[in-house]
Amino acid sequence: MVTSSNRPSLKLVGSSTRNVKVLQLKVELQGVRPKVWRRVLVPASIRLPKLHVVLLRVMGWDGGHLHEFEFAEGRYGVPDPDWPDESMDDESKVTLTKALGYGTTFTWTYDFGDDWTHKIKVERVDTMPAELKLQFPMCLAGAGACPPEDVGGTPGYADFLQAIADPEHPEHDDMTAWIGRPFDPHAFDVQEAQDRLYEIKL
């Protein structure tokens, strides 16, 4: 877990047109141990497709799978012309503020096979002075490593952690070879997460 001493500084640039609302979000991956969570700042006016990219980067996912958002007012995602879903609206037309309505929580599901569900809570709403605005999304804190892609969801991840932790486990060698690198489920580096967010212009 990070502390205030190694948080990245808030990046701000001048703007004289209007006040800018900023949301502090806590993103928590559901059903895993140890806990995996991130705290991030985004503008309230961010559109859902860009928020999706922010969530990928701050969590550590590769982004090669489908996703959807679910709010109290409805579901949003990327329309598939071959498989139309009348219960899901086009995310590209909606800002986070509009999708939230009067709510303060929503979910973001990544990879419909592994079904990684993230509960997201609006912890704070701040208003930047008129001459300031966020230049990049900002990662303030977090804990826990992002699970490997295609590990098999929450049950597969639990099995994976057991296997790599026990040299006597029958799948230890296979899982170690599959991941191909040391894996610490507690590891999280706020600066590495922020470096990924610097690629996202707001």
Q: Is residue 130's pLDDT more than 80?
A: no
Same domain, 64 and 163: no
Hey, what are 99's tokens?
């999708």
What is the model's pLDDT at position 15?
A: 41
β-bridge mates for residue 147, sequence order: none
Domain count, the chain: 2
Domain assignment of residue 202, yes or no: no
Q: 154 lies in which domain range?
A: 148-183
Whether residue 17 is found in the same domain as residue 96: yes
Residue 19 shares a structural domain with residue 38: yes
pLDDT band at 132 (very low <50, low <70, confident <90, very high): low
Q: What is the separation of C-alpha 150 from the centre of its chain, rounded to a whole number of angstroms?
A: 17
Answer yes or no: do 77 and 171 share one domain. no
- Round to whole Å and give the CA distance between 142 and 66: 24
Q: 16 with 38, same domain?
A: yes
Per-residue pLDDT at 185 exceeds 50: yes
116 and 37 in a single domain? The answer is yes
pTM above 0.85, yes or no: yes
| Inside any domain, residue 120 | yes
Note the helical H segments in 18-76.
48-59
Q: Which position has the higher pLDDT, 170 or 6?
A: 170
Query: What digits encode the pLDDT tens for the residues 46-103?
Result: 999 999 999 999 999 999 999 999 999 899 999 887 777 778 899 999 999 999 998 9
Query: Do both 82 and 168 map to the same domain?
Result: no
Both 139 and 154 in a single domain?
A: no
Q: In the numeric block, which tokens belong to residue 127?
A: 């208003």
Q: How confident is the model at residue 133 (pLDDT cuts 50, 70, 90)?
A: low
Q: Are 134 and 46 in contact (CB under 8 A)?
A: no
Phi, psi torsion values for 151, nearest 5 degrees: -80, -15
Residues 8-39 have pLDDT tens digits of 444 444 444 577 889 999 999 999 999 999 99
